[in-house]
Amino acid sequence: MSVRLFDTATRELRDFVPLRAGAVSMYVCGATVQGLPHIGHVRSGLNYDVLRRWLTRSGYDVTLVRNVTDIDDKILRKAAAAGRPWWEWAATHERAFAAAYEALGCLPPSIEPRATGHVTQMVELIGRLIDGGHAYVSGGDVYFAVRTFPDYGKLSGQRVDDVAQGEGESRTKRDPLDFTLWKAAKPGEPSWPTPWGPGRPGWHLECSAMATAYLGPEFDIHGGGLDLVFPHHENERAQSQAAGDPFARYWLHNGWVTMGGEKMSKSLGNTLSIPAVLERVRGVELRYYLVGPHYRSAIEYSDAALGESVAAYRRIETFVHRVRERIGLPGIAEQVPAQFAAALDDDLGTPGGLAVVHTTVREGNGALDSGDRAGATAAAEAVRAMTAVLGVDPLDGRWVTGERTDDAAAGALTALVEELLERRQAARKAKDFAEADAVRDRLLTAGIAVEDSADGPTWSLKNA
């Protein structure tokens, strides 16, 4: 089965056929570095990280461009309110986003361009649009003339007369539908010289210029959050194609993380910062929580849902560590199970993929308990292959720190606890519930909590 992806522009699942055989070019809208990242921000980066990993596993050479918007109205306002230089404000929060991506196991992009480093390409693109009659200069600003592009609205499914750009009142626009490509300089704001006067770029212009600078006039996949479909991606598409660039062949959009039914956003005050969440769970556990649901679905955050996800991940982790301690370090299988591959090929179906992971864990635990070493090892190797695609392989070096480590003390603790859990399981099978309870109480007294599930018992350090 070939990879199929849901294309926002056509509103249907499409077989993925790359522009160039064996290679994939992908542009993902990254952070506007106005403040600290929350879990809604990083979901997009994680979703497209999984897509990249799966396409790479499927044999493609993937080039991923993820930009940084480091000049923007919000950045200027917040920096001014804090009494700090705009560039320092942007750089500080760019580092915070980089740290969040790293903490959650995102592979580094092929290139991470900043908007301020690509003004030359933006000016060139504006020139092409003016020459083609799609843009005009007015009062030092430059605008895209929306009605000159008959296909406007196709991506978002809106009628052109019904749209609002959200740019506020403007006395220099010829038509309220038009959007800003270049903003004339204002006192105290950063600016760059152009043939139309000093100023700074509009948001939509930035991504078109950076995408084509690194991926060419036509590329395979453009990704981002659902909130970017309009106006950002609609305007990117319009200005790029009006300038003569075919631009993106597939448009992918991930769902929001919500709280109380509302999109997680700083303006609503319903955010959870990455550092705050990582005080409660490990990076791999938060990643598992965010990549587990289908990328196009919304995630309604709750502490209970996060806790359930953490418990589910620890069942996977415990199984792999049991195999490592009893049999030896399992490798990573060359092939993932066919059902897992089918799920990921079907529009990156991570829920179906995780169902296969947990089925394999149950079978592997059964094999381990019955003494089938080969079966347990094969299951662990398959689990590692699948979780590597999702970026949550329990034995990946980035995750083998913290609660479960490879040092001798942690290894000894794991071995002792697993031995006691085996004794407890044997007592339960023999219906010696007094003995089973005694083992559980002994572990609890030592600060080790045991949770029973359909996949077998799991353990964790209390309050860890």
> Does residue 307 belong to any structural domain of this protein?
yes
pTM here is 0.85
For the chain, what is the radius of gyration of the CA atoms? 26
Domain edge (last residue) among 263, 288, 310: 263
| Rounded to 5°, angle at Cα 292 from 459 and 24 | 135
pLDDT in tens, the chain (464 residues): 699 999 999 999 999 999 999 999 999 999 999 999 999 999 999 999 999 999 999 999 999 999 999 999 999 999 999 999 999 999 999 999 999 999 999 999 999 999 999 999 999 999 999 999 999 999 999 999 999 999 999 999 999 999 999 887 788 899 999 999 999 999 999 999 999 999 999 999 999 999 999 999 999 999 999 999 999 999 999 999 999 999 999 999 999 998 877 776 666 565 688 998 999 999 999 999 999 999 999 999 999 999 999 999 999 999 999 999 999 999 999 999 999 999 999 999 999 999 999 999 999 999 999 999 999 999 999 999 999 999 999 999 999 864 444 444 555 576 677 778 888 888 888 888 888 888 888 888 888 888 776 656 777 776 54
Same domain, yes or no, for 254 and 319? no
Contact 417, 459 (CB under 8 A): yes
Same domain, yes or no, for 356 and 438? yes
Whole-angstrom CA distances from 152 to 173, 212, 220, 237 are: 18, 20, 20, 8
Q: What is the rounded CA–CA span in Å between residue 104 and residue 46? A: 8
> Does residue 109 belong to any structural domain of this protein?
yes
Q: Are strands 12-15 and 4-7 parallel, antiparallel or unpaired?
A: antiparallel
Same domain, yes or no, for 417 and 308? yes
Same domain, yes or no, for 244 and 383? no
- Domain extent, residue 219, equals 19-132+143-157+203-263
> Does residue 7 belong to any structural domain of this protein?
no
Same domain, yes or no, for 396 and 332? yes
Same domain, yes or no, for 255 and 326? no
Helix (H) / strand (E) element for 464: namely: none
Q: Are strands 218-225 and 247-254 parallel, antiparallel or unpaired?
A: parallel
Same domain, yes or no, for 316 and 455? yes
| Cis amide prior to 231 (ω within 30 degrees) | yes
Q: What is the rounded CA–CA span in Å between residue 395 and residue 86? A: 41
Output the domain CATH number for residue 117.
3.40.50.620
Same domain, yes or no, for 369 and 310? yes
Same domain, yes or no, for 230 and 346? no
The number of distinct structural domains making up the chain is 2
Same domain, yes or no, for 428 and 321? yes
